[in-house]
């Protein structure tokens, strides 16, 4: 069974306060985007014919995880797909299984790639073994893995709040618009990103986003991480400004960075100077 974990963008991201548990309260709108990678679930008895292409392989109990493409840091204890399998094992008696991931999405990019891998792995396991899991149970399990993992279970636009794990549906529809995502080869850790922000109340209610024309978002919809990260990493502000020069209706950094995106009425042309950067252009 093959599934295709996709990314998300944050449209606005406000850091509204520090929590007693050490996390931060945030407000953001998360929107799914079609840039994806591939994850395959197979029975352990199926032979692997791509040994020469293996980037890494880790095994834990009845699950073996093999990755290709971009190197994935960490070990079995931090591997999100393995953690999903073991949490599911607490509910079901699962057989041995192999998980293969062709990692093509940049890491530390603010796109939620790892969270998507976890959610799509859970759905693949559910469907492959015909497990009886409700949407509520699936999202509860995924919340243990990471704050934005539950988003990818339903993969629909939401208003996210709390520490990012509380979500409400939002009637935002960008169908027909084009999007360009550019990752300027710069990984920013979540710890570094949060170190520079000063929590404050949001100046705009993102739950009202769909009532504001996209052309006006630039004046009211902000990512708080930009204020602290742009002075340190000038390339981020440069890319964002150039996205606007290409004709974007709205441009922003997503998550805690460092991917920048722009939303357009028509298909944008990627500048030649960005060809070497991981990027994606497609319809929303």
Q: Helix crossing, 113-128 with 80-89: angle to 10°?
A: 40
Q: Stretch 262-274: mean pLDDT, rounded?
A: 96
Q: What is the DSSP letter of 129?
A: T
Mean pLDDT lowest among 103-107, 193-197, 258-262, 268-272: 193-197
* Residue 47: per-residue pLDDT: 56
One DSSP character per residue, 199-232 reads ----SS-GGGGGGS-HHHHHHH--BHHHHHHTTT
B/e letters for 26-37, b = 16+ CB within 10 Å, e = fewer, are bbbbbbbbebbb
Residue 119 and residue 3 in contact, taking contact as beta carbons nearer than 8 Å = no
Q: What is the C-alpha separation between 17 and 20, in angstroms, rounded?
A: 10
Tell me which residues are annotated as active site.
8, 148
Predicted TM-score (pTM) of the model is 0.94
Sheet holding 24-36, edge to edge: 6-18, 24-36, 158-161, 166-169
* Residue 49: per-residue pLDDT: 55
Average pLDDT value over all residues in the chain: 93
pLDDT in tens, 194-248: 888 889 999 899 999 999 999 999 999 999 999 989 999 999 999 999 999 999 9
Q: What is the DSSP letter of 43?
A: E
Q: Which of 110, 101, 32 is nearest to 70 (CA)?
A: 101
- Residue 99 above 70 pLDDT? yes
Residue 283's pLDDT band (cuts 50, 70, 90): very high
Residue 188's pLDDT band (cuts 50, 70, 90): confident
pLDDT in tens, 140-173: 999 999 989 999 999 999 999 998 889 999 999 9
pLDDT in tens, 47-64: 555 577 888 899 999 999
Structural tokens at position 71: 């190197």
Residue 121 and residue 66 in contact, taking contact as beta carbons nearer than 8 Å = no
* Residue 48: per-residue pLDDT: 58
* Residue 189: per-residue pLDDT: 84
Beta bridge partners of 182: 260, 279
61 or 192: which carries more pLDDT confidence? 61
């Amino acid at each position: 069974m093959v599934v295709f974990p996709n990314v998300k963008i944050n449209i606005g991201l406000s850091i509204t306060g520090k929590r007693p548990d050490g996390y931060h309260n945030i407000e953001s709108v998360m929107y799914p985007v079609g840039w994806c990678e591939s994850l395959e679930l197979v029975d352990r008895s199926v032979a692997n014919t791509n040994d020469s292409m293996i980037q890494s392989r880790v095994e834990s109990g009845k699950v073996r995880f093999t990755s290709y493409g971009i190197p994935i840091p960490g070990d079995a204890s931090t591997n999100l797909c393995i953690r999903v399998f073991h949490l599911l094992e607490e509910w079901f008696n699962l057989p041995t299984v192999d998980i293969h991931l062709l990692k093509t999405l940049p890491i530390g990019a603010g796109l939620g790639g790892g969270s998507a891998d976890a959610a799509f792995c859970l759905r693949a396991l559910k469907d492959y073994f015909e497990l009886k899991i409700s949407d509520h149970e699936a999202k509860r399990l995924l919340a243990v893995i990471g704050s934005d993992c539950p988003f990818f279970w339903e993969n629909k636009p939401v208003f996210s709040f709390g520490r990012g794990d509380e979500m409400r549906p939002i009637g935002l529809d960008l169908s027909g618009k084009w999007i360009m995502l550019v990752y300027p080869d710069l990984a920013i850790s979540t710890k570094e990103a949060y170190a520079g922000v000063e929590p404050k109340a949001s100046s705009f209610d993102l739950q009202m986003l769909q009532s504001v024309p996209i052309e006006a978002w630039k004046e009211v919809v902000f990512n708080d991480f930009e204020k602290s990260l742009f002075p340190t990493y000038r390339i981020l502000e440069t890319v964002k400004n150039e996205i606007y020069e290409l004709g974007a209706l709205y441009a922003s950094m997503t998550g805690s960075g460092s991917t920048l995106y722009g939303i357009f009425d028509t298909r944008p042309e990627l500048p030649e100077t960005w060809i070497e950067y991981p990027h994606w252009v497609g319809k929303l």
